[in-house]
Amino acid sequence: MTGSTQKAQAMVLAAGLGKRMRPITDTMPKPLVPVAGKPMLDHVLDKLAAAGFDQAVVNSHYLGQMIVDHVGMRSTPKVLTSPESDLLETGGGVKKALPMLDRDLVLVANADVFWTEGAEPLFDRLMAAFDPEHMDALLALYPVSGAFGYDGAGDFFWQVDGRLKRRGDAPSAPYFFTGVQVLSPRLFENTPDGSFSLNVVYDKALAAGRCYGLVHDGRHFHIGTPDALAEAEPIIAGALEDERAKQATVGEL
C-alpha cells in the first residue's frame, strides 16, 4: 500500500451520554472523566498534538458547555467546537462538522477511549497506511483476546489483503473496532440528515470493497463503568510507565 502523504484534519467525538459511567457522569461528561491523572479527552488531544495535528474539531452535547470550556483552554492542538442541540450520533456528528474539516481526509477518534502506543504511535500508523486510491475507510482494530475490559463478540474479520468483513451471523470475530479511524468525506454523500451512526458509512465502504483495517500493536483499554475504571487505573499506570521507558530507550539510540 502507498500511504497518504497528506495530513488529515482530526475530529474527536465527545457528544455521548456516558450512561454506563454513572454516577460519575451525573456531574461531568464521560470524555472529562480522569484516567491516569487527566481527562480521557486530553489523552486523545495530546496524542493528536504529538502526531503533528495543529487543529481538531470536538463535538459536544451532554453537559456540552463543560467540554467547550475545557477545550477552550488548549492551544495545541487548537480546538474548534461543534455543539449539538440534538444528539446526532457518530455519523451525524461528523457530517455536521464536515464544513470545518478537510475535504479529502478526516481522522476521527472517540473521546472516551484509552490506549498506549506500540512500536509507532497509532495516529502516525493510520495516516501512513491510508491509501486513497483503494480506501475510503481505515479502521483501527484490536484483538478481542487481548483487550482490557472488552466483553463483546468482536466486530470484524481482518482479511489477508487488509480489507474487513463484518462478523455478521458468526458467533464471534477476532477483532473489534477501537473507535479510531481515517475516513474519506465522500462517504457522507447521500447520507441521512440529522442523527445516524457511522455504521452507515462503514457499510457503504464495505460494499465497495474500500473498508480496510489496521491492527493496533499497543495496549487498548475498554473503560465503560466506574468499576472498570477503578480496576483499570493501576494497570494503565504500569502500561504508561512501560511506554515511557520504551520512549526513553528509543531516545537514547
* Structure confidence by residue, pLDDT tens digits, 14-63: 998 888 889 989 999 999 999 888 899 999 999 999 999 999 999 999 99
CA distance readout (Å), 107 to 92, 124, 151, 224? 15, 11, 26, 23
Per the structure block, which three cell numbers stand in for 61? 452535547
Model confidence over 57-88: pLDDT tens digits? 999 999 999 999 999 988 899 999 999 999 99
CATH, residue 223: 3.90.550.10
pLDDT-derived band at 249 (thresholds 50, 70, 90) equals low
Q: What is d(CA 64, CA 164) in angstroms, rounded to the nearest whole number?
A: 34
Q: How confident is the model at residue 251 (pLDDT cuts 50, 70, 90)?
A: low
> Angle 62-65-69 (CA atoms, 0-180°, nearest 5)?
135
Residues 176 and 152: beta-carbon distance below 8 Å: yes
Query: Counting Cβ atoms within 10 Å, is residue 118 exposed (0-12), middle (13-18) or buried (19+)?
Result: middle
Q: Which residues neighbour 230 within 8 Å (Cβ) at sequence distance 6 or greater?
A: none
Q: State yes or no: pLDDT of 5 exceeds 50.
A: no
- In whole angstroms, give the CA distance from residue 42 to residue 253: 29
The Cβ of residue 125 has, within 10 Å, a number of other Cβ atoms equal to 22
SS3 251: helix
In a domain, 1, yes or no: no
The answer to whether 12 and 56 are in contact (CB under 8 A) is yes
Q: Is residue 3 part of a domain?
A: no
Q: Is residue 61 part of a domain?
A: yes
Structural domain count, the chain: 1
- Whether 37 is in a domain gets the answer yes
Asked whether residue 143 is assigned to any structural domain, the reply reads yes
137 within some domain:
yes
pLDDT band at 250 (very low <50, low <70, confident <90, very high): low
Q: Where are the beta strands (DSSP E) in the chain?
A: 9-13, 34-35, 38-39, 55-60, 78-83, 106-110, 114-116, 137-143, 156-158, 164-166, 175-183, 211-215, 219-221
Tell me the residue range of the domain where 120 lies. Answer: 9-252
3 and 129 Cβ atoms separated by less than 8 Å: yes
20 part of a folded domain: yes
User: Does 242 have pLDDT greater than 90?
Assistant: no
67-72 contacts, C-beta under 8 A, 24 or more apart: 67/14, 67/29, 67/31, 67/32, 67/41, 70/32, 70/39, 70/41, 71/41, 71/45
Measured distance CA(237)–CA(119) in Å, rounded? 19
The confidence score (pLDDT) of residue 200 equals: 97
The answer as to whether 4 is a domain residue is no
Which one is predicted more confidently, 252 or 157?
157
pTM: 0.91
pLDDT tens digits for range 131-173: 999 999 999 999 998 888 888 999 999 988 899 999 999 999 9
What are 193-226's pLDDT values in tens digits?
999 999 999 999 999 999 999 999 999 988 888 8
